[in-house]
Chains A and B, each alone.
Chain A
Amino acid sequence: MDFETVIGLEVHCELSTETKIFCSCKTSFGEEPNTNICPVCTGFPGVLPVLNKKVLEYSIKAGLALNCEIAETIVFDRKNYFYPDLPKAYQISQLYAPLCREGYININTEKGNKKIRIREIHMEEDAGKLIHSSEDERTLIDYNRAGVPLIEIVTYPDFSCAEEVLDFLTKLKAILLYTGVSDCKMQEGSLRVDVNLSVKEKNAESLGERTETKNLNSFKAVKRAIEFEESRQKNEILKGNIISCDTIHWDDARGIGFVMRPKESIEEYRYFNDPDLPKQLISREWAEEIRKSIPELPSQRENRYINEYNLTEYEAKIICASKALSDVFEKLCVLTENPKESSNWILGEVSRLYSVIGKEPEDYSFSAEKLAFIINKLADRGINRNTAKELFEKVFLDDADPEIIIKEEGLEIINDDSSIEEAVRKVLSENEKSVEELKAGKNKVEKFLIGMTMKELKGKGDPRKIIEIMKKEIEKL
């Protein structure tokens, strides 16, 4: 039996506004529990929500960057359910009239470009966090996150495999980072992905019953969870079992997903318009201002790199996938006036060192100015490539100053004729036998002699100059 997989995503993204969505508490991550709280975000009696205008601005910005239509009015709804991390016992969200509709992202697949449609983006508030204490079997509640602004991005079921999902998420993350609406830190929960997946017989008209996989904390987890669920569903169908509409909790450590709770046919959240937040108009002028404030987006940058800097499509895509990386690249281009070399460094040493330390460019930065200095020094043949790499490692890891190290450690390339001549003569006189062989036509020996000269110069000789002078000296003999 041939199968097709159908996948849709729900992506929750925390907005990086200074303050919460309905009160003026800070949104900063990693604070002492229950320090970023007030009567409003902890649902005290008598308090009322007031929409943070910055949240609306960021949400509209995200919507426009994702090619969405923006609603004319803002309406909020209450989603009612009891859970200890939800202080009011309802979440303020948008069910009936989401802020943004009908957007898309173009992704690249094996078969070429594919448009992934975004059904809607709506604003809502985050909940607090339960902390289960193993010591005394108590559960503690931290409300710092309660009221942190979220947007939920819902796609149509347009994906057919994990690779497409990953390309979409990479592009989505880049767009959100470029527009500056979120820091997209998955490990801190600022980007959370739920995967809706169903399989059906190939060419079958109706979709299969879908499951929703939650708790996916990295792109890798998303990929593994999709592959797991895909094969689980196929096996179930082959066994003649029926897929039920379940919520699956992904256990990344064990690499398996398990059914969390059977979903009822209709979730009963008793939604209704929040009477505390009356309908509000979004002025078209303001929306237009926001549109104008959107910076160059990754796809636009990619095109510019290809056209202006002559980068390959592949190079441009990798660099632009991360805003931080691409920002470094931009600086390098200005400071070195050598885009190709800058791109080589980004794709080579810079990427290598990020994977060595296991961090993302968004989470760890280094001085682009210092790398530019190294690249320029290398181009001027002031240092050699190995020295350059070693220097950059020190810049990247310890923010060392390459100029000082070069001076202190004497790393500068020796390229004054007299020092090189002296070394070449010394080597030639100490290796008469090799010189004879060379003269007899054994060209391989030249490399050996150059190597010996380099050794004599403690590796700091300018290789081109050594070759040049060596040739002259041998001719003299």
Chain B
Amino acid sequence: MIENKLNEFFNKKDEWNAFITICKDDAYAQAGKIEKKKLSGKEFPLEGMIAGVKDNICTKGVRTTCGSRMLENFVSPYDATAVKRLKESGAVIVGKTNMDEFAMGSTGRNSFFSQAKNPLNTNKTPGGSSGGSAAAVASGLVDIALGTDTGGSVRQPAAICGIVGFKPTYGRISRYGLIAYASSFDTIGIMAKTTEQIKSVYKCISGFDPKDSTSSKHPAKQKVFDTKALKIGIDKKLMEESESEIRQAVEKGIGVFEKSGAECEYFDFAYSELLIPVYFVTAYSQAASNLSRFDGLRYGFYDESIKNSEEVYIKNRTAGFGKEVKRRILAGNYFLTQGNPVSIYEKAQKCRKLIFSEYKKLFEKYDIIISPTYLGKTEDLNDNGAGNKFFSKNKYEKSLMPANICGFPAVSVPCGMGCDNMPAGLHMMSEKFTDEFLLDAADFYLKNKNAEKEGI
């Protein structure tokens, strides 16, 4: 069965540039291994699943590019923990998915390789930075895909491509082998069409990893999902700041919960204006440090005309990194520079604590916080002015950031149509270590939404 599925996959054309690298030999070899082990009685919970893995998650023997010229030919000597666990659970990895360079971007435009396209409308971007993973799932090429979510990079493309995108609690899925962008935000996430698939993959790849000091041993909070006892908070500002079509879609979505007896209430988030600055300052600063190792000496892009050690850094990094990556490194280094009395980075960390304590209070009142996933229109592929819209554009991503800033689990589920006949995403977030509860909520929503549509 898996062989048929693989044949089908490798015969299909990737019309959406969802993949940077296809790994046919490895996939068949992996499938063969599973078949063999099955003969001796072993069972695999993810048997029959074919998966795409975002190209910033290391795979042994298959190149991991991060969507960058810097790592165009980089082959990792080891498997990321999430990849290892995925394989051990019986999933077959068929390729590495396209992404914005080093996960910096939300359209796929920053990929060194090609622009990924949205399977629902090939004139639109698939979102980003896990745009390739979203396109691979939405197009039906794969069952599930791993993405990474530093500031919404799993949830935003999932919303835009009309699938489910789940970012677990920070520390639940090991970051070992995930090429770091912003270490304290980076989270491996799962993308699929159904919550069942996400649940089963999450069960297999999550859990403490001794190789990642930030991975958690904290037990899951036992919380039973019951709509009658459910309290939902809705971020008023984020609703107001959304495009009207999207707001309406989300309001409808909220209605599904209300009808089932959940108590829904709008709230005002006091530090709304802090979200974007805190995110950018923290992420860019950590990125500046994390990306410093790319000098071409041990791996990665190397300019053969280099004459001395200073040129190693200048030439390799100038040519190896794209524009957006360099912009963020420059900004990050500025944020880290010793200020008077402290760096901008340190100030941002104080604000981060403030945001966290505010959300903690909200979670004393609400089980789930709902907002639109992405507040604006999905961008067209050929948007000439895209580069200049930077500051106006990221306001649409505000709802994504709290989950990264605070480490909360969050999920985006498709909820009808938004602007330009493109899907809207309903964003749900809950407190730390209530991942299973949150997925139950997502599951409930999807089932009841469909039931309504089908008139049951």
Interface positions of A (Cβ within 8 A of B)? 39, 42-51, 78, 80, 82, 84, 87-90, 139, 141, 266, 268, 270-273, 275-278
Contacts and interface: CB of A to CB of B under 8 A. Distances in A.
Contact of B71 (A39, A45, A87, A271): A45
Contact of B309 (A42, A139, A268): A139
A43 B291 CA distance: 11
Given A268-B338, A275-B183, A278-B214, A88 B293 contact: yes
B292 A46 contact: no
Contact of A39 (B64, B77, B212, B346): B77
Contacts of A139: 309
Nearest to B174: A48
Interface string B206-219: 00001111100000
22 contacts: A44-B76, A44-B78, A45-B64, A45-B76, A45-B179, A46-B57, A46-B179, A46-B180, A47-B177, A48-B214, A50-B212, A51-B213, A80-B289, A84-B295, A88-B293, A90-B289, A268-B337, A272-B336, A272-B345, A273-B349, A275-B182, A276-B180
A43 B293 contact: yes
Nearest to B312: A84
Contacts of B77: 39, 44
Nearest to A266: B338
Given A45-B76, A45-B293, A88-B292, A50 B210 contact: yes
Contact of A275 (B71, B214, B292): B214
A266 B58 CA distance: 38
A89 B287 CA distance: 12
Contacts of A90: 289, 292
A35 to B, nearest CB: 15
Contact of A82 (B78, B183, B292): B292
B85 to A, nearest CB: 15
A78 B211 contact: no
B212 A48 contact: yes
Given A51-B213, A82-B313, A270-B333, A46 B178 contact: yes
Contacts of A42: 298
Contacts of B438: none
A39 B78 contact: yes
B175 interface: yes
Top 8 A-B residue pairs of the complex, sorted by shortest distance between their CB atoms: A89-B292, A270-B336, A275-B183, A275-B184, A45-B179, A46-B177, A43-B293, A46-B58
B312 to A, nearest CB: 7
Contacts of A89: 289, 292-293, 295
B285 to A, nearest CB: 7
Contacts of B58: 45-46
Interface of B: 57-58, 64, 66, 71, 74, 76-78, 80, 175-180, 182-184, 210-214, 285-286, 288-289, 292-295, 297-299, 309, 312-313, 333, 336-338, 343, 345-346, 349
Given A50-B210, A268-B338, A276-B183, A44 B298 contact: yes
A141 to B, nearest CB: 7
Contacts, number: 101
Contacts of B57: 46
A143 to B, nearest CB: 8
Contacts of B312: 84
A276 B289 contact: no
B213 A48 contact: yes
A68 B64 CA distance: 47
Contact of B213 (A50, A78, A84, A88): A50
Contacts of A44: 76-78, 298-299
A48 B293 CA distance: 13
Contacts of A47: 176-177
Nearest to A43: B293
A84 B296 CA distance: 10
Given A90-B292, A270-B333, A272-B289, A277 B297 contact: no
Nearest to A90: B289
Given A45-B74, A270-B333, A276-B214, A82 B295 contact: yes
Given A270-B338, A275-B182, 6 more contacts: A48-B175, A48-B212, A89-B292, A270-B333, A272-B345, A276-B180
Nearest to A143: B298
Contacts of B177: 46-47
A84 B211 contact: no
Nearest to B176: A48
Nearest to B333: A270
Given A44-B299, A89-B293, A276-B183, A49 B336 contact: no
A382 B72 CA distance: 80
A306 B175 CA distance: 58
A48 B211 contact: yes
A192 B179 CA distance: 34
Contacts of A51: 213
A141 B294 CA distance: 16
A89 B312 CA distance: 13
Nearest to A81: B292
Contacts of B183: 275-276
Contacts of A80: 288-289, 292, 336
A42 to B, nearest CB: 6
A46 B313 CA distance: 20
Given A48-B175, A90-B292, A272 B285 contact: yes
A273 B293 CA distance: 17
Nearest to A139: B309
Nearest to B282: A275
Contacts of A48: 175-176, 211-214
A270 B289 contact: yes
Nearest to A270: B336
Contacts of A277: 213
Nearest to A276: B183
A90 to B, nearest CB: 6
B353 to A, nearest CB: 13
Contacts of B343: 270, 272
Contacts of B289: 78, 80, 89-90, 270, 272
A275 to B, nearest CB: 4
B80 A272 contact: no
A275 B349 CA distance: 12
Contacts of A39: 76-78
Contacts of B349: 273
Contacts of B286: 272, 275
B138 to A, nearest CB: 27
A39 B179 CA distance: 13
A268 B76 CA distance: 32
